[in-house]
Homo-oligomer: A and B are copies of this chain.
């Protein structure tokens, strides 16, 4: 397992214990995991983006911190939010993040079918230039039915 995954797991479990909000120090975290501080930023941007359902706030300077908050919208609001947030184009990773974010509010079988429909495997025959646009369009078409 990559260090990024280990850090992400650590943060995730902290979020779980603390009921959705977590405050850490970037420097301390980096020290604990023996990596450079910017690695923490990498983890945050790749795994705790708004698409994944998190808000990250930070403060610099003395007493600085990194605060991660799990956003918990419910049901329709979440779906509508996702539909609105998907633009004209979306890459496979982001699409997967959106879908996993909907797990709490929608049938997992439906979600896995949608995930299959927008996977790179399913879209292999689409010109790479158009692939992300097609993915966005398909994803929105599916989500509004949920």
Contacts and interface: CB of A to CB of B under 8 A. Distances in A.
**How many chain copies?**
2
Contact of A145 (B4, B116, B125): B116
Interface residues of A, number: 39
Contacts of A122: 134, 137-138, 140-142
Contacts of A136: 125
A121 B127 CA distance: 18
Interface of A: 1-2, 4-5, 50, 55-57, 62-63, 107, 109-110, 112-114, 116-119, 121-127, 130, 133-134, 136-138, 140-142, 144-146
Q: Which 8 A-B pairs have the closest CB atoms?
A: A2-B63, A122-B141, A117-B117, A125-B133, A116-B141, A122-B138, A126-B134, A125-B137
